[in-house]
Structure 1
């Protein structure tokens, strides 16, 4: 009996203590990561007004200094996490890209076209990106050099004479015409003019307030976008009928078939053509405008670039022969000027991604649905990677920058596929500019404006003259 009583007491004791022991032995749950530090700004508008009215260096750098390399904000109606380090940019764009999707406001998707490749992930994106890369590969674009030269010379001739022009406005026309070459090859002048007229209206409305009220910039842009569809439909029909063995972007889009034998729809073709035009025009034009300002502000550097280009000019019989691909690959100083302009201006200050699940990065929570912005500008202006970052110094690119510290064309699977032709257009224009023309900036030479890319004040008004030595 005594033994039974003892066992009973032990059993009862075990039953009574089990909940306590269970509680004591339960694994301690992992503490949920917290949102990064930062300010969400005013209700509804957040910090959007500060972003688009301040120097972007001031907006981003002051917050980085206050909160660190990972901080939150609220811009363009969206809660955001900003990442201001090379590691952060690589995390989002390369190593963990599957956790983030490219994202744009619906109004902008509608303007360009929902089938444009940079709105997509997965198989469709991979297929269309390969088409772009093939169409803009070095083997393809090298054949465009004489045509791009012709466009560049024609543009420069139209600027000369001493009248004041908006450099940015004229660079937009040049980069548009060069973009047309890479997409269509030689295009009928009537089609080219119609595309230019409608595209200019779309471009003006792209960054305006998205309202369908008749008469507004956005409403006019929507109508112009429909006209672009009609014009492109005619061009596509004509291209199909010609059956010429061309290898431009449109020809590659028309000949594409996936593994199931499916071809691209006309809407997919149209959206991707307009997407390439959008990607090519504003960014290239903005960088070229900055290059002209940086060279104008440093006459010693300008003379050095001119000497490099004059050697090529003389080798080509004072411009009698066209530039060769090899010559465009052998302009080291000019190329470094382009790279330093891309770093200094940082036309693409950041890119938008959206977390598709809750993500933890460096102990901070990035909630599902929040926008994530790798800050290229902060990285490009970090003195740890680029000493004296506010000084224009092309010599810094005599050695390659550290990995993931220089990303003017983005990084990962959504990096700009047209970066080679953009640089080729810049090299060709600079060659003809410095060997045959001179220019002078008019009015205030300081200040930045945003539309939305940072550009010199008022688009850099300037006068151009043809060098008298070439008038004979």
Structure 2
């Protein structure tokens, strides 16, 4: 497995992110203030800070990132320091440490993102915040994406899945990029959950501009006209304008729909204050970003894992065909109860989430000096719980490199399986993501078959891990 990155992107990453982080040389400013007795006894975690200014960024991007993190853990243990992307960091690779940062002491660690990415998503998006704003907005988003709310989406998700699969199989000799097509499918479901049945004109305009924003999200952050990032900024402004149009329309027609936009328009805080149009737009874009690439990546891996294990594929097919026959060979729609009773398929999803670990880690920043297990985490340092390291720990998941859904016949130990994060900033759309996957797999295995064009074992990062070349494949209708 390998990760390729262009020289210009590497240089931009180091320079840009260094400008927004304090560069660790031989001490940290927080060391100057008066320490409490516990802090005086604490020391920085073991590890290497690498070269001055550059740190260990070159090592991270010149080798498989999984190998980078694993080798660090093997050498220094489950808590270690490094200096990457211009920032001093403490990395944590144990379930207990992840729980400490994300759950029990989450108030000491704020979410953090590079400013260039915040500009594209929007500064009001809920995952850029702590405190009362985040708490209230999160409850609002959770309500619109709760099982009670999303179960009504089943017929529409089915329709989108069937439509996508038919387009892939016609003509039958075409080769598609599975990851790219899965992104289209995931985006359409995201639009459905946010806006409901949106007029095709609005949907097409949103998709066109969102695609431009998506391309600029991981590009060099310069406002020079013609660059991917500058185009993304302009497209982001156009998305704001489109959402403002929709908000005006909903207000004029007094629409009271239960999708996310309706929830946001009807929201009032404890002072009777409504969300501004910009706040609504930021959070809608945030939800779409969170939903699209992650769900698309996992679905792409599921297709590969099932293709590579025909015995497992047959077991999933038998489970789904029983539901298919109960629904008069697909003439009746899936029910919510049926989606809750797909144990083999659900274990395949769980194991795919563990193996792929789409969200390999998350960034937090210490808001004050913190002592954990005798080690000092200085204020302002980045803190990274390493989900992938935990998911691939052989003491927690025996033979972690083997794809084995049966391991989930027994629930995993607490804080060892965190595909959607953990704590107050975990993904609020995880139930919708899993419903998408269950419905898509049902229609895939009961009505279609597929063949991979390049059954290679490599991984590419864009930035989420996906099979090489996006998994080119052909599809046929049964």
Which of 358, 361, 366 is the aligned partner of 2:372? 361
Establish whether residue 72 from structure 1 lines up as the match of residue 81 from structure 2.
Answer: yes
Moved more, 410-419 or 44-53: 44-53
- RMSD over aligned Cα, in angstroms? 1.3
Q: Distance in 1 between matches of 2:233 and 2:51?
A: 31
Partner of 1:42: 51
TM-score (normalizing by structure 2): 0.90
**Mapping of residues 182-197 of structure 1, within 5 Å:** 182-197=193-208
Deviations 1:405-446 (A, max 9, x none): 000011110011000000000000000001111111112421
Q: Partner of 1:390: helix, strand, or coil?
A: coil
Establish whether residue 288 from structure 1 lines up as the match of residue 307 from structure 2.
Answer: no
Structure 1 runs (4+) greater than 6 angstroms displaced:
27-30
Q: CA deviation at 1:244?
A: 2.8
Partner of 1:382: 393
Counterparts in 2 of 1:363 and 1:28: CA distance versus 1, 3 Å:
closer
Establish whether residue 249 from structure 1 lines up as the match of residue 260 from structure 2.
Answer: yes
Establish whether residue 437 from structure 1 lines up as the match of residue 457 from structure 2.
Answer: no
Which of 170, 179, 192 is the aligned partner of 1:168? 179
Structure 1 residue runs of 5 or longer lacking an equivalent are 1-26, 468-472
Q: CA deviation at 1:29?
A: 8.8
Aligned residues: 441
Q: Distance in 2 between matches of 1:28 and 1:116?
A: 38
Partner of 2:272: 261
Partner of 1:371: 382
Larger Rg: 1
Q: CA deviation at 1:53?
A: 4.3
Which of 168, 177, 183 is the aligned partner of 2:188? 177
Establish whether residue 333 from structure 1 lines up as the match of residue 344 from structure 2.
Answer: yes
Deviations 1:232-286 (A, max 9, x none): 1111111212223311100000000111111000000000000000000010000
Partner of 1:316: 327
Partner of 1:14: none
Q: Partner of 1:82: helix, strand, or coil?
A: strand
Moved more, 290-299 or 27-36: 27-36
Partner of 1:273: 284
Q: CA deviation at 1:369?
A: 0.3
Q: CA deviation at 1:43?
A: 3.4
Counterparts in 2 of 1:291 and 1:197: CA distance versus 1, 3 Å:
same
Partner of 2:28: none
Establish whether residue 397 from structure 1 lines up as the match of residue 408 from structure 2.
Answer: yes
Q: Distance in 2 between matches of 1:384 and 1:162?
A: 45
**Mapping of residues 19-30 of structure 1, within 5 Å:** none
Partner of 1:12: none
Counterparts in 2 of 1:410 and 1:226: CA distance versus 1, 3 Å:
same
Deviations 1:322-368 (A, max 9, x none): 10000000000000000000000000000000001111111111111
Instruction: Decide whether the 8 Å contact of 1:257 with 1:264 is kept in 2.
Output: yes
Which of 156, 159, 166 is the aligned partner of 2:168? 159
Q: Distance in 1 between matches of 2:49 and 2:260?
A: 43
Q: CA deviation at 1:453?
A: 0.8
Instruction: Decide whether the 8 Å contact of 1:55 with 1:448 is kept in 2.
Output: no
Structure 2 residue runs of 5 or longer lacking an equivalent are 1-35
TM-score (normalizing by structure 1): 0.92
Q: Distance in 2 between matches of 1:314 and 1:53?
A: 51
Deviations 1:358-411 (A, max 9, x none): 111111111110000000000000011100000000000001001100000111
Q: Partner of 1:142: helix, strand, or coil?
A: helix
